[in-house]
Amino acid sequence: MAPTVMPADSIMFNAPVKARASDVNVFYGAKQALMGINLDVPEHNVTSLIGPSGCGKTTFLRCFNRMNDIVDGCRVEGSITIDGVDIYARNQDVVQLRARVGMVFQKPNPFPKSIYENVAYGPRIHGMAANKRQMDEIVIESLTRAGLIDEVKDRLDSPGTGLSGGQQQRLCIARAIAVKPELILMDEPCSALDPIATAKIEELIDELRNNFTIMIVTHSMQQAARVSQRTAFFHMGELVETGLTEQIFTNPKDTRTQAYITGRIG
């Protein structure tokens, strides 16, 4: 299988590369899920990963914080670097890596704890606050950035699971950014939400771009078009095409991309 090589300079205008995948292969047991993926993720951009279900986009996303490590029988080959450092290197500490790479999941998954404790969880295990006042600051700031503060400021002690779906997802985003990650991975963050909640999250993603680098897996082409600057199209474990979002949607080079965005496959 000839890997589709995407020269870094063809994607980028000027943003420096935050993360880079080079010739990444992923296997589940004997089955190969990803084949020779090369992708550059530019800083302070939203990069969306699209493609039909089962194409490997979520698997690829989970390589960036090594969440695949906890899946039995999963094997990752090739190299992924963040700021030029190989995160699959032998001496790489997974725990520290995950503190730098946040993740938001498909279904909102707040801990069965209070709203405050949900956000404080990460900072607490990493010892980021020396005292209660600092912790309060982190929690308030994270909730503010996640655009949730107005809705929850009077009930920080009530359980996070009592919020609406959209609020829960924003709580999960607040929880992720409280650890001050550099890269945030989002795995179809709106798939379980209604259109209004989705719009809020999309708005939030656009804002977060100023402080974080974001990768987002989405099954909705419209969403990719709305929130991302760059898009990578996956098909059957291959990275078919990647480039500026506008270019992918208006002028796809590959026939498979064309077929997908016009709705003939997927």
Amino acid occupying residue 217: V
> By CB under 8 A, is residue 125 in contact with other proteins?
yes
Return the number of the residue (113 or 219) whose C-beta is nearest other proteins. Answer: 113
Query: What is the Cα–Cα distance from 224 to 178, expressed in whole angstroms?
Result: 25
**φ, ψ of residue 229 in degrees (nearest 5):** -95, -30
- State the nearest-atom distance from the C-beta of 154 to other proteins, in Å: 24
Return the number of the residue (213 or 242) whose C-beta is nearest other proteins. Answer: 213
The answer to whether residues 36 and 56 touch, using CB atoms and an 8 Å cutoff, is: no
Binder among 27, 28, 121, 249 for other proteins (CB under 8 A)? 121
| Per rule CB under 8 A, count of chain residues that contact other proteins | 36
What is the per-residue binding string for other proteins in 51-70, x denoting contact by CB under 8 A? --------------x-x--x
> By CB under 8 A, is residue 28 in contact with other proteins?
no
Query: What is the Cα–Cα distance from 253 to 256, expressed in whole angstroms?
Result: 9
> By CB under 8 A, is residue 103 in contact with other proteins?
yes
Span 72-91, contacts to other proteins by CB under 8 A: 72, 83, 85
> By CB under 8 A, is residue 219 in contact with other proteins?
no
Nearest Cα neighbor of 103 from 176, 200, 188 is 176
- Classified as helix, coil or strand, 252 is coil
The enclosing H or E element of 169 equals helix 165-177
The answer to whether residues 94 and 69 touch, using CB atoms and an 8 Å cutoff, is: yes
> Given the rule CB under 8 A, which residues bind other proteins?
65, 67, 70, 72, 83, 85, 93, 95-103, 105, 107, 109-113, 121-122, 125-128, 172, 175-176, 179-180, 182, 185
